[in-house]
Amino acid sequence: MNWTEIGTFLFIPVDAERMVAGAHKRGAAAIILDLEDAIAPSNRDAARGKLAGSVASLAEQGLTTVVRVNNDPGRLVDDIRAAAIAGVHAIILPKVEGAGLCQFVDGALAVAERAAGLPERSIGIIAVIEHPAAMRALDEIAAATPRVVALGFGSEDYASAIGTRATFESMAMPAQAVAIAARGRGLAVFGVPGSVGIIDDEPAFKALARAANAFGYTGILCIHPRQVAMADEALAPSADEVAKARRIVEAFDRSVASGSGAVAVDGQMIDIPVAMQAKRVLSLADRLGARKPQPAA
């Protein structure tokens, strides 16, 4: 699994059997089976018992599967044991404030993997930042263990912790800080710099998805199926962007083949970093398609 490829991650309650059965129709790059916030606290232990069946269903659909576990001491280890099954690619570890929790979970996963007969470190950790206290330890969290494959940003809980609403204005700075820590360590980073609860305001959610992409986020977290299509459309490069990227790549490749290091395209000097950005645009277009050109104003 290449976690750094841009895509959408859709939360589905682990006990929502109809939603799990139809997950392949949603178009998400990965499905997050939720044992935490999408489940009433009184039902979480019972919901855990449905995890194996839900994972098997998603595996049959060929989907990448992530499990969000509970962080409280009474459920964390039991959730980890339940999630250590074939078909689970990573766990989402919420409310991480330091490297110690990631290291503890690394050890617990190692024990669970051995007990389940799984390959060592077959299950990654996505450490989610949801409290300002974690800001002091972002790099340590990102480097806590090789099992950490990504950081996530939990905007709603972060906003609650600082006593505000999850708007772009309030979340832009911490969201970008999480992205810098993750990308600086070569990790993926998931979330949006604002409210993940936006469902009906399509322009607003698309704007958040584009802002996340500009910050370096590689995954957009979606709590409703409608958001998946919004995010994919927002992230897909336009036809004009694809055409320009293709001109850049072709010109740069010709330049390299002829022994030259740089070339001008459309009045812009093209070197290796610019060519790499253009190749990223083409790769994204291959996976998400391309938006139609917008009419001139």
pLDDT single digits (tens) 74-123: 899 999 999 999 999 999 999 999 999 999 999 999 999 999 999 999 99
**198 neighbors 205 (Cβ within 8 angstroms):** yes
* 202 three-state secondary structure: helix
Q: Name the residue among 235, 207, 198, 256 with its Cα closest to residue 7.
A: 235
Give pLDDT, residue 291. 62
Spell out the domain ranges in the chain.
7-235, 239-288
Whether the per-residue pLDDT at 202 is higher than 50: the answer is yes
Instruction: Give pTM, 2 decimals.
Output: 0.89
Determine if residue 68 is labeled as part of a ligand binding site: yes
Let me know: does 179 contact 189? Beta carbons within 8 Å.
yes
- Between 297 and 205, the more confident residue is 205
CA distance 111 to 153: 28
- What fold, for 7-235? TIM Barrel (3.20.20)
According to the annotation, is 97 in a ligand binding site? no
Distance in angstroms (rounded) separating the CA atoms of residues 191 and 175: 8
Say if CB 218 and CB 189 are below 8 A apart: yes
> Known binder of ligand: residue 139?
no
